[in-house]
Structure formats: structure tokens, C-alpha cells
Amino acid sequence: MKALMFGWEFPPHILGGLGTASYGLTKGMHKCGDMDITFVIPKPWGDEEKGFANIIGANNTPVVWRDVDWSTVENQIGKTMNPQTYYDLRNNIYADFNYIHTNNLGCIEFSGRYADNILEEINNYSIVAGVIARTVPCDVIHSHDWLTYPAGIHAKQITGKPLVIHVHATDFDRSRGNVNPDVFRIEKDGMNYADHIITVSNLTRQTVIEKYGISPDKVTTVHNAVEPMSEEIMAIEMPRNPKEKVVTFLGRITMQKGPEYFVEVAAQVLRKTNNVRFVMAGSGDMMNKMIRLAAERDIADKFQFTGFLRGKQVYEMLKSSDVYMMPSVSEPFGISPLEAMQVGVPSIISKQSGCAEILNNVVKTDYWDVDAMADAVYSIITYPAMYTHMKEEGIREVNEIKWEYAGQKVIDIYRKVMKW
């Protein structure tokens, strides 16, 4: 079975959970066997893992015919793509795109981020998708998140193959209800054109059905999973202060993640015990506000901010924690509690997180229930049995949440839309 996937992020260059999920799913599907996956991303860096999917960069795909020789192509894009693919793609340019700014290879530049001109990038991405869809044979098209829906729709119109869109988040999650009309339009368009919609949790499924008016039989939930931790990460040993417990918040410090509840919890717990430290790791538009709030609550001596953590630092932070907290107001899935569980850190998550639907060995509370969260933190740091039980049972549980299972479910959905 040949699948053409459109994504926006791919590890190791990721900004959020989307990249991790796309990567894990693709790899899991590959493990299920008999899958030939082409994965399109705006801007590959050349250090992406290969072998389970054929990665094509949108910024390496010509949309304007340029007469360039093999060595030039190889020099410029050789480390991310086979030059022959370039020529194959070049044979399928379908319209005159000279009005767009292109480079010497006739390719459009992409930032691959979430820049201010994102709508323009999305549009360009779907132009490129037209070339790719004409070149790469496929049985089914799969678009990851709203940025790639227009590309998916375009590819569907060209090839006539069924389109599956994967909703990793909706704008209702990101904006706490203040939806951007442009984003909503693109999302709604994608859902209308899709032959089937995959959501990462029942929570998101409900949003898709209720807020976007999609028929429930077209929407299926495939919960995310988690990649096994690499040995390198498992081997990290962090120094621990036995007299002081560490409670961690890790993620973007934005409205969606509910950081203010974490500060309130910290204030409550610190009123009762002193042998605990709270750490807010990450950055975001609410960071300064949180620093002020912590100072206002008079807990700044026990409340630390680390700023943005990348790569290994994330796991170092997790490994030096005793409790992980995710008080997200609305989290379509939320993969980080699973990672915390993998390294043996008990987690407290909000019931408004998609991952709460599949996890048992975590404490689940409402995001606004500061009292309940404070109780849970106190319990984990005070009663050793609670800590040990959550740690051990958590590891056991999370090891059974595998991408292969999610991949198999997606393949079943492919079969259904292709009427195989």
C-alpha cells in the first residue's frame, strides 16, 4: 500500500508534539509491514531518520522549470534527497509559477516554522503538493494537521485518491475558544473534503463533531502512542537532593497549558511543606506573567524557571523530577506525561487532556481544581507508597502503549476508505 503523507514537522527539528506524533505513527505503520510511505515536509535538514519513509522536502521540489545539471542539484540538495527525484518532479510541473519567488533550482523557500506569513507558506505548500502528487504514485493521501489540509485536498483532486486527515489539534484547543476565522476555514475545508478524519482523542473527536459539524461516522479516534526511550536517554543519571522533592511543569507557557494553575498549586503546597521545589520549564507568551505571579504568591525562592529546553535537556529535567504536572486547559492528546512515565516520574494530568482517556496510573483532576492537584502533589511527595506505585505501574502501563497498535488502526482506516 502506498501512502502519501503531508506533515509540517519531523524530528529532530520539532517545535511541538506534531512532529513527534507524525514520526511515531509513520514508523509504527512501517512496522506493520507492506507500507510504502512518502512523507512530505516543508524543509528537511538532512538529519532526519530514514529507512521507514521516503522524505521529500517541499523546498527541494521545483515548481518552475530550470535547466540545471546533476552536479548543481547534488551539491544543493544531495544530502536530503536523491537528485533523480528532483528531475522526476521537474517533469511534472503543471502550471506557470514564475510569479512566485523561487531559487536557482526553481524551488520555493520554506521556513518550516510557524512564522507570520504562515498562510502564504500553506498556500505555497499546496502548490508544491500538486507537483508531488503528479510524480509519486499513491493509494491514499494523509494530511497531518491543518497546515497541510490544503495540500491534501489539492493532491486528492489531482489523483482522485481518498484523503484522510489527521487532527492533532483544533484551533479551539489552541485559542481557548477565540478561534481565528482563517484557521477555522482551512480546518473546516479539510474536514469537508476528507474521506475520513482521524482524531488523537475522543475529546478532539467531540470538538470535530460539535464545533465543525462533521458527521460522527466519518471521525475515528486513534490515540497517540509513545516511542520507547533510547538507551542514551535512559542512561542519563541526574543528581538528586534527597531532602528536596522536585515538581515539574514542562511545556510551552501559554494559555492552553494552564501554567497559572501550576503556580497556584505550588503556593498551596509550599504553605504546608518546605522540602519541595517547583520548576516551570519551557517558554511562552505567559512566562513573564508567571514570574510575576510566583513573586506575588511569595514563593519565588522555591519556584524556578528554566527557559526553553531542547533535546536532551528535556529528559534531564524529567529525570530530576519527582512529580510531573500537566494542568492543560485543553490538550488534544499530550504526549509528555507518557514520556514522564517512561522515565518513571509520577504524573498529574488534567481531565481535559486527551491522554487521560487511555492512562490509568496517573492522577487525573480538573485543570481548575487547584485543591485536588495540590493534594495529589502532597500525597506523592509525602507517602512513599504512592510514589513507588505510580512509578512502577506507570512504566509498565506506558510500555504497552505502542505506535504499532496505532499504526495498525490507521491502516485499517486506509483499507476502509480505499474499499479494499
Partner 1 sequence: MRTICFYFQIHQPFRLKRYRFFDIGNDHYYYDDFNNEEIIRRIAERSYLPANRALLEMIEDSGNKFKVAFSISGVALEQLEMYVPEFIDSMRELAKTGCVEFLSETYAHSLASLADPEEFINQVKAHDDKIELLFGQRPKVFRNTELIYSDEIAAMVASMGFKGIITEGAKHILGWKSPNYLYTPATAPKVKLMLKNYKLSDDITFRFSNYAWNEYPLTADKFMGWIGSLPEGEEVVNLFMTYDTLGELQSAETGIFGFMKALPRFAADKGITFSTPSEVISKLKPVDVISVNDPISWADEERDTSAWLGNILQKEAFEKLYSVAERVRLCSDTRLKQDWNYLQASDHFYYMCTKHFADGAVHSHYSPYDSAYEAFTNYMNVLSDFIVRVEEQFPDSIENEELNALITTIRNQAAEIEVLKKELASAKANAGVVAEEKPAKKAPAKKKAAPKAAPKAEPKEEAPVAEEKPAKKASAKKATKKAEK
Chain residues binding partner 1 by CB under 8 A are 268, 271-272, 360-364, 371-372, 374-376, 378-379, 382-386, 388-390, 393
Q: How far is the CB of 354 from partner 1 (least distance, A)?
A: 18
Query: 307 forms bridges with which residues in the sheet?
Result: 281, 282
C-alpha distance across the termini of the chain, in Å: 11
Kindly state the smallest distance separating residue 321's Cβ from partner 1, in Å.
18
Spatial distance between the Cα atoms of 170 and 187, rounded to a whole number of angstroms: 8
Q: Which residues contact 71 (CB under 8 A, 6 or more apart)?
A: none
DSSP state of 256: G
Return the number of the residue (178 or 360) whose C-beta is nearest partner 1.
Answer: 360
Q: Shortest approach of partner 1 to residue 274 CB, angstroms?
A: 14
Q: Which is nearer to partner 1, 235 or 385 (CB)?
A: 385
CB of 373 to partner 1, least distance (A): 11
Instruction: Report the alpha-carbon distance of residue 256 to residue 273 in Å, rounded.
Output: 29
Report the C-alpha gap between 125 and 279 in whole angstroms.
39
Per DSSP bridges, beta strands 219-221 and 245-250 are: unpaired
CB of 331 to partner 1, least distance (A): 18
CB of 410 to partner 1, least distance (A): 25
80 vs 268 by CB, closer to partner 1: 268
Q: Which residues contact 117 (CB under 8 A, 6 or more apart)?
A: none
CA distances from 323 to 346, 382, 390 (A): 5, 12, 10
Nearer to partner 1, 153 or 247 (CB): 247
Residue 153 vs 270, nearer CB to partner 1 = 270
Residue 256 in contact with residue 330, Cβ under 8 Å?
yes
Closer CB to partner 1, 181 or 384, in the complex: 384
Q: How far is the CB of 4 from partner 1 (least distance, A)?
A: 38
- One-letter amino acid for residue 52 of the chain: F
Q: Which is nearer to partner 1, 123 or 388 (CB)?
A: 388
Cβ neighbors of 302 (< 8 A, separation 6 or more) are 266, 270, 274, 276, 277, 278
* Pair 196, 221: CB distance under 8 Å: no
